[in-house]
Amino acid sequence: MLHKTIVRAPEWEIVIGLEVHTQLSTSSKIFSGASTAFGAEPNTQADAVSIALPGVLPVLNKGAVERAIKFGLAVGAHIAPHSVFARKNYFYPDLPKGYQISQFDLPVVGKGQITIQIPSTDSEQGYEKVVRITRAHLEEDAGKSLHEDFHGMTGIDLNRAGTPLLEIVSEPDMRSAAEAVAYAKTLHSLVRWIGICDGNMQEGSFRCDANVSVRRPGTPLGTRREIKNLNSFKFMQQAIDYEVQWQIETLENGGTIQQATVLFDPDKGETRMMRTKEEAHDYRYFPDPDLLPLEIPPQLIEEMRELLPELPDAMRARFIKECGLSAYDAAVLTSDWNTANYFECVAKYSLKDGESLDNADFKLCANWVINEVAAKMNQEGLASWRFGVSDNTLGRILQRIREGIINAKTAKDLFMEFWDIARNSGYQQFGGSPRLVDQLIDERGLTQVSDSGAIEALVDEIIAANADKVAEYRSGKDKLFGFFVGLAMKASKGKANPVQMNDILKHKLGG
Amino acid sequence: MSLTINDVKKVARLARLAATEQEAQIAHAQLSGIFGLIAEMQAVDTTGIEPMSHAQDVTQRLREDKVTEGDQRELFQSIAPQVEAGLYLVPQVIE
């Protein structure tokens, strides 16, 4: 096995293009009225069209066309007013017609582009990059072959056959595995954002193929190998890293690269050849005579444009410009529509009575959503919409902080307590409510102590009881300040106004 | 354009048809006849005429996204040569 760490070889340039198959979130199949629900008993959703009984005819699903249009608009692409379905012929038992209905020379979505953010690493500063999209076309998915032991036979489940796919093809614009992963993640977020795909990678709703080649900078493109069916971002990173290293070593040892299709083996961390170009299929594409040309009228495009939400790029720019957030915070919040929307609602609910949104403390809200809410969801592996604490409850907690009624520690305790309630319900319900926030503050006397006389008295007591530590502090052991803060906070039962308490402590300890 | 016997054999292989030498010869003769017809059509002057992707000048009708087909597995599998655990069984394929 090759060593895993990539030696950064500046004399080689890495070139990557991605083909992504997104399953469109329609209820029925692309060419028939069978259900597309995941996980049904084998072949119970395989109707006469899905199993290709003789004499059946395909009828195109409007929902699939609408989703393709939405995607095209979201990447600034030209929507073809006239596009054609073609037959892609190949022989495999999970494709009972003997051809896949796809699009070839006239796809529904033309050239577009998306902006990706490559995150910082230990050695490199993060940056932004535009990746061009070549095209996106509609096609049908195939069924599934099960090669487990059926007495030397293969089992075929055609439930997935006919599920609508949008295949999104990028230009070979990516120059590292990190860029390829950033592109795939951005696309993954975008298709969920505009509601055309559920993005569930375990269920195969978002599958990536990576075309990888290397070349000396300034020379023509090298021969590429295609890594098939990458169904996680982690595997994509590993597979590309391995493939690049393998190609560079092969070339440096005087070998040549054969165009080929390879599979990634996650257990071994290696790519393995599936077939070479010589054995590759000759698909014999031709227009499908069963399907008429697809005409998309301008008014349908306009209808879809109306339905599009504010796009992540625009929202990110707005968060930076209008809410004063850092580029990092804005990028994290807009990585997912639910998170972005939650943040905006929290900001609204955190306003004091009669306060306008311009005066919201967006930074405070962003910190809470990123460091507390998103962190918890990540930790517990929750779907991006399964919030343990509702936006209006968190908003109320933050409102009470902003009004000086409770301090950050009390706020966090309440938040954690509410989240635990949600967890105990299996996230079937939110923990807490705005009313409960105020009720608990009242019942438990959580209002922060901002009475300077009370805090001073408490600090005096601590100083008197810890004369030795006070002497150490005064002789220059500054680190002890934290010790006194801890004692004072504990003495106030966590309710002291921390800013005020710090001031008083500093003053009194200073002697 | 003329068709060679090797073209016929290649197409047969792609379609997974086992053609004997004699069958390939027959198919070659028949397909060559079709090619002759195409050659005649290509002699027609089509300057300025947009190619059609379909014989009729009509466009695709779209279907509402609704589930209209129920489970008919039992009926469909009644004509399958072999089934097990709800799956259609076929000779083993490993790519």
Nearest residue of A to residue B65 by CA position? A63
Contacts of B61 in chain A (CB under 8 A): 59-60, 292
Q: How big, in percent rounded to 5, are the helix, strand and coil portions of chain A?
A: 40, 20, 40
Is residue B31 situated within a structural domain? yes
Q: Which pLDDT does position A8 carry in this prediction? A: 54
Q: Is A422 helix (H, G, I), strand (E, B) or coil?
A: helix
8 Å CB contact of B69 and A34:
yes
Identify the domain boundary among A235, A269, A299: A299
Contact A153, B90 (CB under 8 A): yes
CA distance A22 to A204: 8
Partner A contacted by B88 (CB < 8 A)? yes
Contact A62 B63 (CB under 8 A): yes
Average pLDDT of span A95-107: 94
**A338 and A259, same structural domain?**
no
A77 neighbors A112 (Cβ within 8 angstroms): yes
Q: Does residue B51 form part of some domain? A: no
pLDDT of residue B91 exceeding 70, the answer is: yes
Summarize pLDDT for B30-79 with one digit per residue, the tens. Answer: 999 998 898 898 889 988 887 777 777 788 899 999 999 999 999 999 99
Residue-number span of the structural domain to which A346 is assigned? 310-443
Residue A306 backbone phi and psi in degrees, to 5? -60, -35
Task: Say how many C-beta atoms besides its own lie within 10 A of residue A252's C-beta.
Answer: 11
Contact A165, A109 (CB under 8 A): no
Q: Are residues A346 and A292 in the same domain?
A: no
Q: Which of residues 42-61 of A touch B (CB under 8 A)?
A: 42-48, 51, 53, 59-61
**A273 and B CB contact within 8 Å:** no
According to the model, what pLDDT value does residue A452 have? 81
Last residue of a domain, one of A235, A266, A299: A299
Residues A70, A307: contact at Cβ < 8 Å?
Answer: yes
> Tens digit of pLDDT for each residue in A256-280?
999 999 999 989 988 888 876 555 5
Enter the DSSP assignment of A369. I
Say how many domains are in chain A.
Answer: 3
B65 CB near a chain A CB, below 8 Å? Answer: yes
pLDDT digits (tens, 9 = 90+) for A7-66: 555 689 999 999 999 999 999 999 999 999 999 999 999 999 999 999 999 999 999 999
Which of A46, A145, A292 has the CB atom closest to B93's CB atom? A145
If you average pLDDT over residues A457-484, what whole number do you get?
A: 88
Would the CB atoms of A42 and B62 count as touching at under 8 Å? no
Report yes or no: A134 and A37 within 8 Å, Cβ to Cβ.
no
Whether pLDDT at B94 is above 80 = no
Range in A172-181, A344-353, A495-504 with the lowest mean pLDDT: A495-504
Say whether pLDDT at A308 is over 90: yes
Report the gap between the CA of B92 and the closest CA in chain A (Å). Answer: 5
Indicate whether A345 pLDDT > 80. Answer: yes
> What average pLDDT does this structure show over A88-116?
94
Q: pLDDT tens digit string along A395-448?
A: 999 999 999 899 898 999 999 999 999 999 999 999 999 999 999 998 888 887
> In the numeric block, which tokens belong to residue A109?
């979505």
Q: Is the ipTM of this complex over 0.85?
A: no
Do A404 and A348 sit in the same domain of this protein?
yes
Domain count, chain B: 1
Mean pLDDT of chain A: 92
Q: What is the pLDDT of residue A7?
A: 53
Within a domain: A382: yes
Residues A272 and A330 in one domain: no
Burial class (CB in 10 A: 0-12, 13-18, 19+), A413: middle
B14: CATH: 1.10.20.60
Rounded Cα–Cα distance for residues A56 and A49 (Å): 6
Is residue A119 domain-shared with residue A84, that is, in the same domain? yes
CB contact (8 A) between residue B15 and residue A84? no
pLDDT tier, A130 (very low <50, low <70, confident <90, very high otherwise): very high
Report the pLDDT value the prediction gives residue A1, as an integer from 0 to 100: 45
Which of residues A299, A318, A336 is at a domain's end?
A: A299
pLDDT higher than threshold 80 for residue A6: no
